[in-house]
Amino acid sequence: MQIQNEVSLKSYNTFGIDVKAQKFVEVTQIADLQQLLAQTTEPILILGGGSNILFTQNFEGLVIKIKLKGIEVIQENEDFVWLEVAAGEVWHELVLYCVAQGYGGIENLSLIPGTVGAAPMQNIGAYGVEIREVLEQVQAIHRNTGEIHTFNNESCNFGYRESIFKNIHKDQYVITGVTLKLSKKPTFNTSYGAIQDTLKANKVETLSLKAISDAVCQIRSSKLPNPAEIGNAGSFFKNPVIPQSQFEALQKRFPNIVGYPLPEAQVKVPAGWLIENSGWKGKRFGNIGVHTRQALVLVNYGGGDGAAIRKLSQDIQASVLDKFGVEIKPEINIV
Ligand code: EPU
């Protein structure tokens, strides 16, 4: 384990923002992580795949990049398999492994950037599936005591893009691994219209994990910019949830508005629709902007400044609030 000084974080965040970490270290062993947490007095930033973060300035402290690796079957029966996966595994590689092994449950979550350890943090979700549906346990180290805790599904308090690790336990734990319960006799989730359309276009007659994973990859590639080509962190904002009465009032003024009914007379409104209909989609300001095909995604065309992206996000929030009276909040961490 080697601590380096003044390291550029450009290749460690998918937005591609070129800020520096005062100190930087990669950890491959839990014991090393415990030692660092115990000894470090300066601020610490834990980094997974860097796919849900916007750096607006240099980080004056120690950045710890989690590189814990390993995928292990710890239990199985006729119907299910329990996989213990280390936090530093790349999420999409895990999905591909599971698809190849015939383990069902996360194929709809194909091509989500980032690492396994970050997945429970915001309960990653896409195309009708969230990780909470297959997550049995989260293993995490308490930052102050160095003790290893195991959280079961219920105690993670999952919600839409939410977990206990973002709320009451914010910055208190480092996730080191997860246990997933996957199905050997999968039922396929094709509830999302775009998946059905793509399967049809691909002339898929017999559903399989691979057919679904391929369809999801196709949909994502067609809508979302590839971070290897254009810097971005996926959805910048969460989809706001508003009272049904407010949605109905908006519908009178904006008949094309999109909304998905939720329990308790609430409606989830796609922030992408609100942003597009406030005139931001595809807008470019120098080397940053709003993606041309998905207004929910802010992009860095190269050499962009994180603080300028934050300012753009604030301008978008203000204009959506002004036009629709709806507050949209960032989904990503701004540092
Ligand atoms: N829409 C627009 N304009 C846009 C974008 C979207 O009008 O520029 C409308 C679409 O027409 C559609 C609706 O918004 O009716 C929903 O769009 P989409 O299916 O693309 O999904 P989303 O709500 O924009 C969410 C997740 C994505 C996830 C997709 C698919 C959030 C914040 N985002 O996006 O997650 O891939 O659903 O399930 O919940 C991510 O978190 O980084 C991410 C990409």
Q: Whose CA is nearest to atom 23 of ligand 1?
A: 270
Region 14-24 average pLDDT? 98
Cβ atoms of 274 and 297 within 8 Å: the answer is no
| Backbone phi, psi, residue 88, to 5° | -85, 0
Nearest to 333 by CA among 310, 317, 314, 311: 310
Taking CA atoms only, the protein residue closest to ligand 1 atom 21 is: 270
Which candidate, 18, 300, 312, 277, places its Cα nearest to that of 330?
312
**pLDDT beyond 90 at 26:** yes
Q: Confirm or reject: Cβ of 126 under 6 Å from ligand 1.
A: yes
Query: Rounded to 5 degrees, what angle do the CA atoms 221, 222, 223 make?
Result: 95
Mean pLDDT of 153-174: 95
Task: State if residue 91 touches ligand 1 by the CB under 6 angstroms criterion.
Answer: no
Taking the domains of the chain in order of start, what are their residue ranges? 4-66, 71-223, 231-334
* Residues in a beta bridge with 21: 7, 59
Please determine, for residue 52, whether its predicted confidence score (pLDDT) is greater than 90: yes
pLDDT of 209: 97
Cβ neighbours of residue 35 closer than 8 Å, sequence gap 6 or more: none
Which of 143, 161, 213, 313 is flagged as catalytic? Answer: 161
Pick the CATH number of 231-334 from 3.40.50.720, 3.30.1330.40, 3.90.78.10, 3.40.30.120: 3.90.78.10
Q: Considering just the CA atoms, what is the radius of gyration of the chain in Å? A: 20
Question: For a pocket test of ligand 1, which of 163, 296, 299 has the largest count of ligand atoms closer than 8 A to its C-beta?
Answer: 296
* Angle 272-277-280 from CA coordinates, rounded to 5°: 75
Q: Find the DSSP H helices in 174-261.
A: 193-201, 209-223, 244-253
Contact 300, 17 (CB under 8 A): yes
69 pLDDT higher than 90: yes
pLDDT in tens, 27-41: 999 999 999 999 999
Mutate to test the pocket of ligand 1, among 161, 166, 235, 236 (most ligand atoms within 8 A of CB): 235
Residue whose CA lies nearest to ligand 1 atom number 11: 273
Domain 4-66 has CATH 1.10.10.10: no
Q: Would the pLDDT of 17 be above 90?
A: yes
The answer to whether domain 71-223 has CATH 3.30.465.10 is yes
Short-list 320, 318, 190, CA closest to 257: 320
If you average pLDDT over every residue of the chain, what do you get?
Answer: 96
Using the predicted structure, report yes or no on whether residue 1 has a pLDDT greater than 90. no
Per-residue pLDDT reduced to its tens digit, 289-335:
999 999 999 999 999 999 999 999 999 999 999 999 999 999 999 99
